Amino acid sequence: MQGDQEPLGEFDLIDRYFASGRPGASGAPGTPGAQVANRRTDVILGIGDDAALLRCLEGSDLVAAVDTLVAGRHFPEGSAPRSIGHRSLAVNLSDLAAMGATPAWATLALTLPSAERSWLEGFSAGFMELAAAHGVELVGGDTTAGPLTISVQILGQVERGSALRRGGAQPGDVLAVTGTLGDAGAGLALVTGQATAEDRVAAAELIERFEYPMPRVQFGSSARGIASAAMDLSDGLAGDLPKFARASGLAAHVDVGRLPLSGALRSSATVAQAREWALAAGDDYELLVAVPAQRFDELAAVASRLNLTFTAIGDLRRGTGITWALDGQPFAAPARGYDHFR
């Protein structure tokens, strides 16, 4: 019987906990703690060789993104490993969602202080469950010893020429967001003890929004050909909107009173606090979208079919910079969202 702190070879780690069930991969379903992985027919060679061999769809473009999570910075030290596994893939899927792309393959670079069996089981469960939900196969991995750092690269595909970009917005476009904002910020504050909530059900909902963000992949894909630009909200609207507007060479105006706030958030904080989380806290992984005014209803109907709220919060205009208003008066938004090295 082996203990929880069993030393594991680096080849074994990926092989055992992220078992593909492919020939050559020893960690078949049946290995305790192993995930039953998604298996795609366009993966010619998966984990186990020097590199993966993948077959791109004809007539499609390849879409690639990378995102890193560092313990103590992107999630609290001691977070549930299942949440860390989920989030490390979710933040990357969210980038593909913003392009309107369909996810296909991922690679995982996992640096961790020690190979704890229970941690690896939780992490791989969170990662692989979300991968399976989006039809993603893990095709490459690398584990190294060191401070907990997770880099995921996601690869997806999109019909040639149809990808959503940040820079496609036009003056007069409606500015809109999927879902609700600020929940993840509130959830993180609850997890770290910076905030408290009397309503336990609401608190659990907010924490869930931080720990298990749901990337808006289906909405992004359906928005192609309707939306004129899209971006995912990782750093908070106050930090991300300036980048979004600048990419199209436009100014943006936001009516802060229209920011979509969930019932859980409104029942757990003052409106002012809720708006601050919505603007500056980040981690929501909703989509920020520009859409021609005459096509807003069409896109709202897409969201509705996906049981997703879709809210107009302002518009894009000629010029530069962002103006924020509340009840018809100028509003002082937090200066910026989350940024490393500041």
Out of 21, 22, 117, 149, the residue judged to bind its own copies by CB under 8 A:
149
Write each residue from 307 to 336 as x if it is in contact with its own copies (CB under 8 A), else as -, in one continuous string: ------------------------------
DSSP 273-309: HHHHHHHHT----EEEEEE-GGGHHHHHHHHHHTT--
Distance between CA atoms of residues 81 and 88, nearest Å = 11
SS3 state of residue 247:
helix
How far apart, in Å, are the Cα atoms of 167 and each of 106, 195, 253? 26, 37, 17
CA proximity to 141, closest of 275, 278, 20 = 20
Compare residues 197 and 217 and give the one whose CB is closer to its own copies.
217
For residue 12, the minimal CB distance to its own copies (Å) is 9
Stretch of 200-208, 227-235, 253-261, 324-332 lying at the interface with its own copies (CB under 8 A): 227-235
Out of 21, 76, 151, 331, the residue judged to bind its own copies by CB under 8 A:
151
For residue 51, the minimal CB distance to its own copies (Å) is 4
Compare residues 297 and 339 and give the one whose CB is closer to its own copies.
339
Compare residues 54 and 191 and give the one whose CB is closer to its own copies.
54
Compare residues 42 and 199 and give the one whose CB is closer to its own copies.
42
Distance between CA atoms of residues 289 and 184, nearest Å = 19
For residue 302, the minimal CB distance to its own copies (Å) is 19
Distance between CA atoms of residues 340 and 342, nearest Å = 6
**Is residue 150 within 8 Å of residue 111, measured between CB atoms?**
yes
Stretch of 161-169, 204-212, 250-258, 275-283 lying at the interface with its own copies (CB under 8 A): 161-169
The reply on whether position 243 binds its own copies by CB under 8 A is: yes
How far apart, in Å, are the Cα atoms of 135 and each of 39, 41, 124, 277? 8, 11, 16, 32
Compare residues 220 and 264 and give the one whose CB is closer to its own copies.
220
Compare residues 157 and 262 and give the one whose CB is closer to its own copies.
157
Write each residue from 269 to 298 as x if it is in contact with its own copies (CB under 8 A), else as -, in one continuous string: ------------------------------
CA proximity to 11, closest of 142, 139, 114, 127 = 142
Q: What residues from 114 to 143 belong to the interface with its own copies (CB under 8 A)?
A: 114-115, 139-143
Burial 96-120 (b: 16+ CB within 10 A, else e): bbbbbbbbbbbbbbbbbeebbbebb
Out of 125, 158, 207, 250, the residue judged to bind its own copies by CB under 8 A:
158
Q: How many residues bind its own copies (CB under 8 A)?
A: 74
Distance between CA atoms of residues 126 and 118, nearest Å = 13
Stretch of 33-41, 110-118, 260-268, 321-329 lying at the interface with its own copies (CB under 8 A): 110-118
Sign (positive or negative) of CA dihedral 84, 89, 90, 95: positive
CA proximity to 114, closest of 32, 16, 4, 1 = 4
Compare residues 100 and 126 and give the one whose CB is closer to its own copies.
100
Q: What residues from 38 to 97 belong to the interface with its own copies (CB under 8 A)?
A: 44-45, 48-56, 58, 61-68, 70-74, 95-96
The reply on whether position 258 binds its own copies by CB under 8 A is: no
Out of 80, 109, 132, 312, the residue judged to bind its own copies by CB under 8 A:
109
**Is residue 90 within 8 Å of residue 214, measured between CB atoms?**
yes
